[in-house]
Structure 1
């Protein structure tokens, strides 16, 4: 168990939702990231249980993938909390451009929310009585931020670094650079020498050097053949909607994902059509034990 400073609490969530980090002090109460839409009531319940009658004053999003901001709207309605988002996403949120925000591109859901201000590289935030540096962390998402507290040696890494890897490198699916940026942010993290990393998914961990070595090895593997990243991305997107629905037919999966921008770009990189790729990926989920087939229905086992 990783010991965190007083007034800082991590809600480790299961897949579909990112972890949430709650800060409480005499000045303000703040939450970093809010999970996925269908888990929003659970996010609210976790915050209420931890804070009691206290008010959530501030909500900060490291990035705006659906699993990190899907609880924003409910928390805003309940608390009227001030909300900070990455600066590059402000125009897309203001107009609610679901293509630019990736929700239409991935077949995922997010309730419309607003924002009050933006965070950008070089900013400082006071959370839990501690000073946090805001650092740009492109790679998985070109607009992602991570938060570092030099005082405590704690890094909130979002999806830039997990204990065993990192998030899908989405920019590479559409011909944009992502591998180089991911390598750069891993080097930034190495130079920070954090004592503790709180990832976007999974438990907080302290053996950061080992995690970085695993992440760098994983990145080398993907860079050696970008089709590996494309296949992994498409499988992750299928697994996500399966976890949300719990079961769906192959025809249903094709209807939900087959025409999305990121599935079609992944299929193109693999030299396939979505109509052939998605059934293959479903079979791979079954082989991996993540799902089973019952007739024509793909059923999640997780």
Structure 2
């Protein structure tokens, strides 16, 4: 495995040439960061439709979700941001292309509504050129899915399915969302939140930071030992195509994301 000595110390939106580099990406791609050889490490959701982000305490998963989501919004996507903390993604609340939900009832209704939108898009039979991509962004996702399961039990009737329809809708999107231009960015392990095994396998890109050896072995089944965790802000490993890429992730603050997207909407960028 390549050493991390060549990684940049920090990567910010304000770095010279960085915005031009972002602008050069296709609308289906977002920059995760810069790798050890100086090349861009990006994710293209046309090829790898869903992204899993998992970090230990202080690993920056919320920042990574923000940075990726902001890039897709900049490129014309819409987003459904599900944030039970109610404060982690306030940068997105006032953006016209974002639906932000924080309480469990609102998240349940949003995901049930997502099932209808998913079917509407599928019924278009591939005629999606004028339909914006939809990013479903779930912070603290494992805990959110457990809350959704408990919430469903409070009013589920005897003849209703046992599984929460909100969780079922998310699983459907994980399985078939690419055909409807709907993509998931999931913050968590995706192994303890109620997703079926097939849905968990749909994350083609996995971003790991400060995780234990056990989590590394579970989410990055790659030959060789788990890498040593780094306390450096933005240091992650991007796992895709059978390789783990040491990466300095792009870091974007709330204010930077909001200002950038406001300027985008105003046609200033």
Instruction: Give the alignment's TM-score, normalised by structure 1.
Output: 0.29
Instruction: Give the alignment's TM-score, normalised by structure 2.
Output: 0.31
Larger % of helix: which?
1
Higher RCO (CA-CA < 8 Å; seq separation 6+)? 2
